[in-house]
Structure 1
Amino acid sequence: MSVIAWIALVSCAVWAWLLLGQGLFWRTDQRLPRGPAEPERWPSVAVVVPARDEAEVLPVSLPSLLAQDYPGRVEVVLVDDGSEDGTGDLARALAERSSGSRTDGGSRAGLPLTVVSPGPPEPGWTGKLWAVRHGIGVVCARGEGAPDFLLLTDADIAHAPDSLRRLVAAAVSHRLDLVSQMARLRVSGVWERLVVPAFVYFFCQLYPFRRVNRDGARTAAAAGGCVLLRTEAAERAGVPDAVRDAVIDDVALARAVRRAGGRLWLGLAEHVESVRPYPRLADLWRMVARSAYAQLRHSGVLLAATVAGLALVYLAPPLCLAIGVGGGDAVAAWAGGAAWAVMAGTYAPVLRYYRQPPWAAALLPLTAFLYLLMTVDSAVRHHRGRGAAWKGRTYPAPRAAADR
C-alpha cells in the first residue's frame, strides 16, 4: 500500500475510536436534569457578574438577570473590573429601570443589584478571577451570612426568566455541587456560522460531558459563562484563590471542586445564551488564540503533537480522498472518504443544535485548519509576550501545572 493509503487508514481508525471510545462526545443530549419536585425551601443565591468594558452587551444581558423569577432570596453583584466605557454607571441605570418596572400583577420588582469595583488585580491573579473573588467577598460579608449558592455568570450571558430556578432545582434534586451550562453562542454572520459550532464541538471532544458528569471520573470541566456553585463546595475547594492565575478558569475551577470531593454536571444550555457578537474572523481569532496555548500548558511538545494530530484527523481525510481518486489509489480513496464521512456525521448534531444546515458538516476540515492556525498563532503570541491577552491585559504562564 502507498503512504497515502496508510495515512488514510490511520485517520479512519482514529475516527472509529473517536466515534465509539471518546465518551460519545458528539451527542448533544446532555441537558439540564430535572428533579421529581421543586425544593420545599429554596436556597439563597448570590449572582456574581465580573464585567470589564461590557457596555455593549449589558443592556441585553443584565436585565435578564434582574428579571429572574426565583422564589428564594437572591441578589446580583456586578463587579466593574476597571472598565473605561461606563459599564458600572450603565449597570446602575439598568437596575433603576428594572426596579421601576413590575411584572404581571405588579407584585415583584427586579432583583437588587450592587455594583462594586475591586481595583486593579493583585500580582498572580487574572482580572476575571480577581473580580469574582471580590464579588464573593461582598456577598459573604453581608449580615444575612453567606448564600447557599453562587451563580457565576459572564456579562455577555442572557438568561431566560426561569434559568436560575432550573439551575438550583437541578443542583438540589441531584445533590450537585457545581452545575454548569455551556451557553448557546451567537451564530449570525458567515464567520460565526463557520467557527462557533466547531468551538463547542472541539470543547466536547476534549471534555466529553458524559465523563464530566460521571461521579469519580478524572475528566472535569465547566463552561465559565454559567456556573452554579454550592458555596460550601467553593470553600472546601479554596476557590477562587486556588485557581487565581488560571487563564482557562472554568476548567480549573471544576478540577478544584472535583478534587475536593464535589459532584459536577456540565451540559448544553437551552435557556442561557451569549449575546456577544463576533462579526469578523479577527474577533473569533483573538477569542481562540487567547487561551489555545494555555490549554497546551505552554508546551512546545504538546503544540507539535496537536498540530500533527489536527492534520492527521481533520485535514488528511479529504486530501487522501482527493489524491486517491485522482491517482487511482482505491484504499486511500475509500479510507479517506470513510473518515471524512464519520467526521461529518459526528459534527452534524452540534450543527443541528445551532440550527445550521447539515451540509455545513463537510466544511469541518476547513474550520479545523483555521483552528490549527489559531493555535500556532497563540504560541507565537505567547513567546512574543502577548499570549493570554484580553481587554488590555496580558497574563503570563501559570506558576505551576494546570492540574494543581
Structure 2
Amino acid sequence: MSILAWFATASLAGWLWLLLGQGFFWRTDQRLPPVEEDGATGAAGGWPRVVVVVPARDEAEVLPLSLPSLLAQDYPGEAEVILVDDGSTDGTGRVATELAERYGAAGGRYGAAGGRYGVAGGRRGLPLTVVSPGEPEPGWTGKLWALRHGMALARAREPEFLLLTDADIAHGPDSLRLLVAAARANDLDLVSQMARLRVASPWERLVVPAFVYFFAQLYPFRWINGVRPRATAAAGGCVLLRTETAVAAGVPEVIRRAVIDDVSLARAVRGSGGRIWLGLAERVDSIRPYPGLGELWRMVSRSAYAQLRNNPLLLAGTVAGLVVIYLVPPVALVAGALTGDPASAWAGGAAWAVMAGTYLPMLRYYRQPLWLAALLPFTALLYLLMTVDSAVQHYRGRGAAWKGRTYAGSYVSRQGD
C-alpha cells in the first residue's frame, strides 16, 4: 500500500469511529423534551415567575425583528424582559423603548434615563426594562458584564427562572412556556436550545449548517443529556437557567473572562451539581445575517483559538486532525483514480461517503439541498483556515474581537477561573 492509501485508510477508520462512537453526534433528534404542560406546572404551584435578560450591543438593526417576539410571549405566569444596552452607539436603547411602546405592557420603564413610558389600553405584552451598566470593569467580557447587571436586576424580582437570550434571537410565541415546562417536568437546572441560524445566501448555505454539525461533533448532545453525562455545553442564544442554580454556581462572576461563555456557563452549572440539557431548536431562530464569507469568517475566527485554550499544541493537533479526517478522503479518491492506486481510491471514496452521510441529517434540518454534503471537505478547509487565522490574530493582539472590543487573553473558562 502507498503512503496515501495508509492515510486514506486511517481516515476511513476515523470516520467509522465517529459514525458509531461519538455519541451519534450526526443525528438531529435531540429536541426539547415533550411534556404535559399542566402536569409539569400544576403540581409545583402553577407557572413560575420568569425574567428574560437580553444583552445587546449595537443591535438596533435586528431588534425590530427579535424583541417583539419576546414581548409577545404567550406565557401563563408572570414574566418580564430586561434589555441591557451594553454601550451601544446605534440607538439600541431608544429602538428597544420604541418597540416596547408599540408591543409591550403598560408601566414599563427606561432604566438608564429614569423616564417611564406607558401603553394606553392596558397590557399588550410583557413589560420591558432597558438599562445600561456602562463600560465593563477590567477582567470582564462585555456580554458577561451586561449579563451580570441584568441578572442582578432580575434576581430582585425573585424569579424561579432566568431566560438568557441574545438580541438577534427570535422566539416563537410558545417558546418560553415550552422551555419552562420542560425544565419543570424533567427537573433540569439549565435548558438550552441551539437556535436555528439564518441560511439564505450561498455562503450561509455552505458554512452555517456545518457550524452546528462541527459543534455537535465536538459536544455530542446525547453525551450532554445522558444520565451519566460525558460532555458539557450550552448554546448561548437561548438558555433557561434556574435562579438558585445560578447563585450556587456563582455565575456570571465565575466565568467573567470567558469568550465562549455558553460552554463556560454550562460547565459552571454542572460543576455545582446542576442538571443540563442541550438540543436543537424548532421555535427559536437567529435572524442575524451573515451574507458574505467575510462576515462568517469573522464570526468563526473570533473565538476558534479560544476554543483551543489559545494553545499552539492543540492548534497543531486540530489542524492535523482536520487534514486527515476531512481533506485526505477526496484527495485520495481523485489521486488514486488518476494514478491507478485502487487502495487509495477505495478507502478515500468510502471515507468521503461516510462523511457525507453523517452530514445529511443536518442539511435536512436546515432544509438545504442534500448535494451540499459532498462539499463538506471544502467547508472543513475553510474552518481550518479560519482557526489558523484566529490564532494569528490572537498573537497579533487582536484575538476575540467583537464590536469594537478585543479580549486577547480570554478563553473557554473552567469553573473557578
TM-score range, shorter chain: over 0.9
- Counterpart in the other structure of 1:171: 183
* Distance change >3 Å, CA 400–CA 375, structure 1 → 2: closer
CA distance in structure 1 between the aligned counterparts of 2:230 and 2:363, rounded to whole angstroms: 28
Equivalences for 1:203-214 in 2 at 5 Å? 203-214=215-226
- Alpha-carbon distance, 1:217 to partner: 1.7
CA distance in structure 2 between the aligned counterparts of 1:354 and 1:99, rounded to whole angstroms: 32
- Counterpart in the other structure of 2:378: 366
Equivalences for 1:166-245 in 2 at 5 Å? 166-245=178-257
- Alpha-carbon distance, 1:402 to partner: 4.1
Whichever residue aligns with residue 121 of structure 1, its letter is P
Answer yes or no: is the 8 Å Cα contact 1:297–1:402 preserved in 2.
Answer: no
- Aligned identity (percent) is 71
CA distance in structure 1 between the aligned counterparts of 2:391 and 2:414, rounded to whole angstroms: 17
* Distance change >3 Å, CA 254–CA 100, structure 1 → 2: closer
- Runs of 4+ with >6 A deviation: none
- Alpha-carbon distance, 1:140 to partner: 1.8
Match of 2:98 among 61, 75, 93: 93
Equivalences for 1:47-126 in 2 at 5 Å? 47-99=52-104, 108-126=123-141
| Residues 1:129 and 2:129 aligned together | no
CA distance in structure 2 between the aligned counterparts of 1:303 and 1:100, rounded to whole angstroms: 50
- Alpha-carbon distance, 1:109 to partner: 1.0
Whichever residue aligns with residue 101 of structure 2, its letter is E
- What secondary structure sits across from 2:200 in the alignment? coil
- Alpha-carbon distance, 1:396 to partner: 2.5
* Distance change >3 Å, CA 125–CA 100, structure 1 → 2: closer
Aligned residue pair count:
397
Equivalences for 1:3-402 in 2 at 5 Å? 3-38=3-38, 39-40=41-42, 41-99=46-104, 108-141=123-156, 145-398=157-410, 402=414
Give the structure-2-normalised TM-score.
0.93
* Distance change >3 Å, CA 400–CA 42, structure 1 → 2: closer
Whichever residue aligns with residue 23 of structure 2, its letter is G
Answer yes or no: is the 8 Å Cα contact 2:169–2:195 preserved in 1.
Answer: yes
- Alpha-carbon distance, 1:156 to partner: 0.1
Answer yes or no: is the 8 Å Cα contact 1:48–1:136 preserved in 2.
Answer: yes
- What secondary structure sits across from 2:80 in the alignment? strand
Whichever residue aligns with residue 32 of structure 1, its letter is L
Answer yes or no: is the 8 Å Cα contact 1:177–1:263 preserved in 2.
Answer: yes
CA distance in structure 2 between the aligned counterparts of 1:72 and 1:215, rounded to whole angstroms: 30
CA distance in structure 2 between the aligned counterparts of 1:227 and 1:96, rounded to whole angstroms: 26
Answer yes or no: is the 8 Å Cα contact 1:54–1:85 preserved in 2.
Answer: yes
Structure 2 residues without counterparts, runs of 5 or longer: 107-120
Whichever residue aligns with residue 2 of structure 1, its letter is S
CA distance in structure 2 between the aligned counterparts of 1:327 and 1:399, rounded to whole angstroms: 45
* Distance change >3 Å, CA 400–CA 344, structure 1 → 2: closer
Whichever residue aligns with residue 95 of structure 2, its letter is L
* Farther-moved stretch of structure 1 (210-219 vs 127-136): 210-219
CA distance in structure 2 between the aligned counterparts of 1:274 and 1:398, rounded to whole angstroms: 25
Give the structure-1-normalised TM-score.
0.96
Answer yes or no: is the 8 Å Cα contact 1:298–1:379 preserved in 2.
Answer: yes
- Alpha-carbon distance, 1:36 to partner: 3.3
CA distance in structure 2 between the aligned counterparts of 1:260 and 1:401, rounded to whole angstroms: 15
* Farther-moved stretch of structure 1 (54-63 vs 92-101): 92-101
CA distance in structure 2 between the aligned counterparts of 1:245 and 1:340, rounded to whole angstroms: 39
Whichever residue aligns with residue 95 of structure 1, its letter is A
- Alpha-carbon distance, 1:403 to partner: 5.9
CA distance in structure 1 between the aligned counterparts of 2:164 and 2:62, rounded to whole angstroms: 17
- Alpha-carbon distance, 1:99 to partner: 3.4
